[in-house]
Amino acid sequence: MLSERQRMILNAIIDDYIRSAEPVGSRSISKRGDVSFSPATIRNEMADLEEMGLLEQPHTSAGRIPSIKGYRYYVDHLVKLGGVGDQDVRTLRTFFAEKMNRWEGIVEHAATILSQMTNYTSIVLGPEMFHTTLKHFQLVPINDVSAVAIIVANTGHVEHRTITIPDGVSMDDMTKTVNLLNERLAGVPFYKVKSVLHSEIAKELSRYVEHCEDILSLLDQTITEEQEPKVYLSGASNMLTQPEFKDVDKAKTILEMLEETQMLMQLFQSNSDGIQVKIGTENSLEAINHCSLITATYSFDGQSLGTIGILGPTRMEYGKVISLLDYLSKDIAQLMSRWHK
């Protein structure tokens, strides 16, 4: 579809624009080593590329900038995945050498390091509990009326709630219930827990324990509620570094969106495995129509557990970011499997 020369020119324009954030003229392309044609020739090709919708002109006498479609072509056909630089590899080594003793720690830290290494904004989705299995369930009484319910997953993930013990339920009842739950639910994936709870356990429990409906509904809530993964955000202020957001209002729109967890979840919805690149309006949210989002999933035990992502201007260093996300997501998976070997 595109001639070799057109591809080179397109590539050169996008590279330049990514670096400079300013419309690229025919002259500056011609002066680069890699495309040795005169400005006039390049202008002709540029006009063609514009007709195809790959380039745009902010105004008549300005250079060209890539369109969404242009970036898409670049990402699909042109971008060079250079791998991760030595410096970055070292940073990551240090990162993974640090002592990590909580899931949340790893994931949160990963977000920080991502934003620092890229100077973009990173968004990381913590592990989903959906596909993990229940390891242990426990109630720790705090006082007469309340207790802490603790749920441990096979991945080492821990969730907890403070619950109020229903009237008329004795400590003994609770203990019995908890024991039964551990017996029956250990090893059950969380997405099945609810049904098992109602089908198998409810009946049996009703033999030993009074008020078991109260207890069950309480536990039901406790276990199913809020299994939504946590969202970690880092480097939102990096957005302000980008010249495209020198206008405070634009910056504000984006930062406001970033503060809403719901919105972020929505961004990550079409969550197929592997690396995904969403450019500009390809994203579902209008607020980031001038941004690109690159995501990668990390997995444990073959199951994709969560997502790491980078949000930046459409004029983003795609090659670098894609390489990095790929590398890091695999490293996280590896770290986790080493942890739970």
Partner DNA sequence: GTTAGCACTCGACGCATTGGAGTGCTAACG
Partner DNA sequence: CGTTAGCACTCCAATGCGTCGAGTGCTAAC
Residues near a second copy (CB under 8 A) are 101-103, 135-136, 138, 140, 142-143, 145-146, 148, 150, 152, 154-156, 158, 160-163, 222, 225, 234-237, 240-241, 245-246, 248, 251-252, 255-256, 258-259, 339-341
Q: Contact with DNA (CB under 7 A): which of 2, 6, 43, 176?
A: 43
- Of positions 28, 91, 182, 303, contacts DNA by CB under 7 A: 28
Show the tokens assigned to 248: 């405070």
Q: What does 154 interact with, of a second copy, DNA, none (CB < 5 to 8 A by kind)?
A: a second copy
Tokens coding 108: 């949160």
Nearest to 295 by CA among 280, 308, 279: 308
Segment interacting with DNA, rule: CB under 7 A, options 35-43, 67-75, 90-98, 148-156: 35-43
25 or 127: CB nearest DNA = 25
Contacts of 337 (CB under 8 A, 6+ apart): 300, 301
Number of helical H runs and strand E runs in the chain: 13, 10
Calpha distance 326→147 (Å, rounded): 42
Stretch that binds DNA, among 40-48, 65-73, 114-122, 280-288 (CB under 7 A): 40-48
Q: How far apart are CA 44 and CA 64, in angstroms?
A: 12
| CA atoms of 79 and 278, how far apart (whole Å) | 15
- CA 105 to CA 96: how far, in whole Å? 11
Q: How far is the CB of 75 from DNA (least distance, A)?
A: 23
**Residue 63 within binding range of DNA, rule CB under 7 A:** yes
CA-based max dimension of the chain: 89
- Any contact of residue 191 with DNA (CB under 7 A)? no
Residues binding DNA (CB under 7 A): 5, 23-28, 37-41, 43-44, 46-47, 50, 57-64
